[in-house]
Amino acid sequence: MAVTDNAALRFEDVTRVFLDERGGSITAAEEINLTILEGEFISLVGPSGCGKSTLLRLAAGLDSPTTGKVWFEGRCIEGPSPQRGLVFQSYNAFPWLTVRENVAFGLQEKGECANGKVKEWLEFMGLSEFADSFPKALSGGMRQRLAIARTMIVEPRLLLLDEPFGALDETRRDSMQQLLLKAVRQTKCTVILVTHDLRESVLLADRVVLLKPRPGRILKVIDSTLAKPRTREQMKTPEFLEIYELLVHSFPA
Ligand code: ADP
Ligand code: MG
């Protein structure tokens, strides 16, 4: 592969075809070519069934393309790795472990250093008080923060988020977005966020990738050039509205 020096993830002519129950086939992703730079924040948007989750699963190494290749830091992805962390909407935590144990789970190292890291992430995500509770005792927002802490503690180079805030109400969503941006700044990871909230996609990302379904293809890539750090106030600016309107008008009917 011709390596772009600062490329983190690259989809190269990726097509993923699934067989349905009746023996037909569904092209979830077709001829996807996309290079994501190190430290870049990408939002993936598009109607249901356009292949967003499929692309995340391919990047996570939980699935393989039918044809084409997915590269991460110059190597062809062949399976999952803690370097590429996936967070989805149905909060991924082990119900039989406490909040603290859940956060510590992925850490290879043990001992004082590990304890320090766990403490730090619990504090960062506002979960210290609930360290010894079980996930079922947490609210939706707290569970989502737990899911992010579990994934981020191993300092993944690539963070894959599949509609992580979909179940949260508007005010919780806002504080979760800010927390996410802070965690991303701290770890300098590359991010792909799948969201159905178009405003969120523009506010958080450097580029918004719009997909269309049947077959799942990239329809448009839109730069979101707003100044950083991003805040909710920017959603009232003409710059924001211009990008947002472009996205809305490009969205498949
Ligand atoms: P999105 O996340 O954008 O809603 P998905 O990536 O989940 O879309 O799915 C894209 C298309 O591929 C859909 O039509 C879906 O039904 C189909 N699909 C996804 N995964 C499978 C699978 N494991 N088996 C069969 N069809 C699948
Ligand atoms: Mg999906």
Clarify whether residues 116 and 225 are in a common domain: no
Residue 172: inside a domain, yes or no? no
- Strand ranges (E), the chain: 7-19, 25-37, 41-45, 67-72, 75-76, 84-88, 158-162, 190-194, 207-212, 217-223
C-alpha span between 28 and 53 (Å, rounded):
9
Q: Identify the domain containing residue 11 by its residue range.
A: 1-83+159-166+184-253
Clarify whether residues 47 and 120 are in a common domain: no
Predicted local confidence at residue 4, as pLDDT: 60
Residue 35: inside a domain, yes or no? yes
Average pLDDT, integer, range 194-218: 97
State which amino acid sits at residue 108.
Q
- Does residue 53 have its Cβ closer than 6 Å to ligand 1? yes
Q: Going by CA atoms, what residue is nearest to atom 25 of ligand 1?
A: 18
Residue 110: inside a domain, yes or no? yes
Average pLDDT, integer, range 118-126: 94
**Number of the ligand closest to the Cα of 88:** 2
- The CATH number that applies at residue 19 is 3.40.50.300
Q: Which atom of ligand 1 is nearest to the CA of 50?
A: 3
Q: Calculate ∠ Cα 80-82-86, nearest 5°.
A: 75
Clarify whether residues 106 and 57 are in a common domain: no
Clarify whether residues 60 and 129 are in a common domain: no
Residue 142: inside a domain, yes or no? yes
State which amino acid sits at residue 188.
K
Clarify whether residues 141 and 119 are in a common domain: yes
**How many structural domains does the chain have?**
2
Q: Calculate ∠ Cα 87-149-104, nearest 5°.
A: 115
Predicted local confidence at residue 29, as pLDDT: 98
Question: What whole-number percentage of the chain has pLDDT above 70?
Answer: 98
State yes or no: pLDDT of 86 exceeds 70.
yes
Predicted local confidence at residue 248, as pLDDT: 98
Clarify whether residues 151 and 94 are in a common domain: yes
Clarify whether residues 2 and 56 are in a common domain: yes
Residue 40: inside a domain, yes or no? yes
Residue 237: inside a domain, yes or no? yes
179 or 206, which is more confident? Answer: 206
